Amino acid sequence: MPTWRKSFLMRSSPKSRKLVYCGMHHAFTRYHQPVYDFKEGFLERLNDQRMGNLIYKQIGNQAMTICLHFPWVSSKGWDEPAVRPANGMIDELMATFKDTRVGFDVVGTPFESVSATDTCYAFGHPGFKLADFTDGYIYQKPFREYQGVTVDPQFITKENLKEAVDMLADLEAAKNLTSPEVFVRVMQEDADMQKRFKDVH
């Protein structure tokens, strides 16, 4: 999986803990993700049906989100260059340290009040703060140093192409995956962190 994938920690009891490693949009617990129509310019709703949301409804504050450092979706839209989390404050702070591999609490610390105004994650959340988004944070390195995985060119074949396409949730994207070669190329582009993050500002 790409190094920018995110996770959340679910604590089922004081004696047993579960770690679920997933994309950030699946990991939201207290936070409800905006569903925004960028073409028409309005907020459709706040999604409270993500996996983490459903778990949070069952066990409350026993579930917590831990965010791995990744570029945030811009307030200008999904197709625009992504932005640095929390208006770049985290990147700027970590640039002052030699060893930046660190995890830290957000809720209950000075980090909880860090604001973010240039991301669509703030839509529908007046006074949006980092603590609204996540309980904890892990920072490993600046985006310019991120590296993706090497995609096995034989991972998708003529024999398993249909099965692979059928597993995709994005039906529109799936329509374009007409051959193993196309599928592999799309995966390679998705894993190219240097290209994907070069315009993050």
Per the listing, tokens 């060893």 go with: 99
Please indicate, yes or no, whether residues 35 and 115 belong to a single structural domain of this protein.
yes
Please indicate, yes or no, whether residues 101 and 155 belong to a single structural domain of this protein.
no
Long-range contacts of 129-133 (CB under 8 A, 24+ apart): 130/85, 130/86, 130/106, 131/106, 131/107, 132/30, 132/31, 133/28, 133/31, 133/65, 133/67
For residue 187, give its domain range. 147-201
- Give the domain-ending residue among 108, 126, 145: 145
Does 1 reside within a domain? Answer: no
Does 176 reside within a domain? Answer: yes
Does 127 reside within a domain? Answer: yes
**Torsion-angle region of 108 (φ positive above 0: left; ψ -120 to 50: alpha; else: beta):** left
Residues 118-170 pLDDT 10s: 999 999 999 999 999 999 999 999 999 999 999 999 999 999 999 999 988 77
Please indicate, yes or no, whether residues 109 and 170 belong to a single structural domain of this protein.
no
pTM of the model: 0.83
- For residue 171, pLDDT beyond 60: yes
- Give the domain-ending residue among 123, 145, 167: 145
pLDDT score, position 15: 67
Does 50 reside within a domain? Answer: yes
Please indicate, yes or no, whether residues 163 and 174 belong to a single structural domain of this protein.
yes
The band of 178, judged by pLDDT with boundaries at 50, 70 and 90, is very high
How many domains does the chain contain in total? 2
Please indicate, yes or no, whether residues 18 and 63 belong to a single structural domain of this protein.
yes
Please indicate, yes or no, whether residues 10 and 92 belong to a single structural domain of this protein.
yes
